[in-house]
């Protein structure tokens, strides 16, 4: 963890926590279910959208914390295929967050060599949302640092069904033989292709569920839950989760 001494002067809590990590065992891909934004706001007598706004600011903070320790991919679950059922005003507000995020954060993300990607059904997003996300993807596509992957309008069962449908079409067209379908081939039909599977899933706000998120990809991932709401979750909590990840022996069902 030597570089952190240089970056933070070896003085801050954050630097100390980062230095407590084993730099040879940093998870390549960390996925986060950023839950509890509305709850965080309601606890403070604020409207739910104030929680989403606060949650958006936290995305940048945790992205930088992940980048600092050498995480390669950070997937942030920002909007699920089920979230359209929320009140119309809340959905409209959420769909404007990418427009607000980028003008504010893009320069720092570019300066830190972050590459933006998106996983989900982009065609169902409002045009202005899609344009903001696409601009960010285009502006960062030549960066080769941390991949900040937003799961937007994403749901895992739908993803797997779409993959199976395409797989069957390709088989019927004679492009693949059923007996050649392997785990890695199936993975290549999913929206997350070519990203590696998450090594660690973090979920905030106390719910102990996967909620239709990366069901195939999380097969061997370590799961880490906290009661903290997403806007309260900071770099130190993030490094705590990574430390716990490093303590657990990962055996993939073997010995
Ligand atoms: C959203 C803030 C984070 C907490 C979870 C829900 C609300 C950042 C983005 C975003 C997405 C794509 C992109 C740039 C920024 C975002 C939505 C909700 C829909 F290219 N935060 N955030 N998008 N929340």
Q: What is the pLDDT of residues 88-137, one digit of tens each?
A: 999 999 999 999 998 889 999 999 999 999 999 999 999 999 999 999 99
| Predicted TM-score (pTM) of this structure | 0.93
In ligand 1, the atom with minimum distance to the C-alpha of 79 is 19
In short, whether 133's Cβ falls inside 6 Å of ligand 1 is yes
Domains and CATH numbers, the chain: 26-155+196-246 (3.40.1180.10)
- pLDDT of 173 above 80: yes
Q: Give the residue, by CA position, lying nearest to ligand 1 atom 5.
A: 78
- For residues 100 and 56, give the distance between their C-alpha atoms in angstroms, rounded to a whole number: 9
Rounded to the nearest whole angstrom, what is the distance from the C-alpha of residue 36 to the centroid of ligand 1? Answer: 14
Q: Which of 237, 244, 243, 247 is nearest to 36 (CA)?
A: 237
In ligand 1, the atom with minimum distance to the C-alpha of 52 is 7
- For residues 184 and 29, give the distance between their C-alpha atoms in angstroms, rounded to a whole number: 17
- What's residue 255's pLDDT? 57
Alpha helices in 9-47, H assignment, sequence order: 13-19, 37-43
- 1-35, pLDDT tens digit by residue? 444 444 444 456 888 888 899 999 999 999 999 99
Answer whether 199's CB lies under 8 Å from 16's CB.
no
Mean residue pLDDT across the chain:
93
How far is the CA of 228 from the CAs of 39, 139, 193, in angstroms?
A: 10, 33, 31
Angle between helix axes 235-247 and 48-69 (nearest 10 degrees) is: 50
In short, whether 154's Cβ falls inside 6 Å of ligand 1 is no
């Amino acid at each position: 963890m030597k570089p952190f001494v240089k970056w933070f002067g070896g003085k801050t809590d954050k630097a100390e926590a980062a230095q407590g990590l084993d730099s040879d065992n940093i998870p390549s891909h960390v996925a986060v279910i950023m839950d509890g934004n509305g709850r965080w706001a309601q606890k403070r007598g604020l409207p739910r959208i104030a929680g989403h706004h606060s949650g958006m600011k936290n995305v940048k903070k945790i992205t930088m914390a992940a980048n600092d320790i050498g995480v390669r991919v950070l997937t942030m679950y920002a909007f699920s295929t089920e979230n359209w059922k929320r009140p119309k005003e809340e959905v409209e507000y959420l769909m404007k967050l990418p427009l607000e995020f980028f003008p504010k954060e893009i320069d720092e993300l570019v300066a830190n060599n972050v590459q933006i990607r998106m996983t989900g059904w982009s065609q169902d997003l409002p045009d202005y949302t899609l344009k903001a996300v696409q601009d960010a993807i285009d502006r960062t596509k030549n960066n080769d640092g941390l991949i900040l992957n937003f799961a937007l309008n994403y749901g895992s069962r739908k993803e797997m069904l779409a993959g199976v449908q395409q797989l069957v079409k390709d088989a019927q067209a004679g492009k693949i033989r059923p007996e050649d379908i392997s785990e890695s081939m199936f993975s290549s039909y999913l929206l997350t292709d070519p990203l590696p599977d998450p090594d660690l899933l973090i979920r905030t706000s106390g719910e102990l569920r996967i909620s239709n998120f990366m069901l195939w990809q999380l097969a061997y991932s370590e799961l880490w839950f906290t009661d903290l709401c997403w806007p309260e979750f900071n770099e130190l909590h993030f490094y705590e989760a990574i430390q716990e990840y490093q303590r657990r022996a990962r055996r993939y069902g073997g010995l």
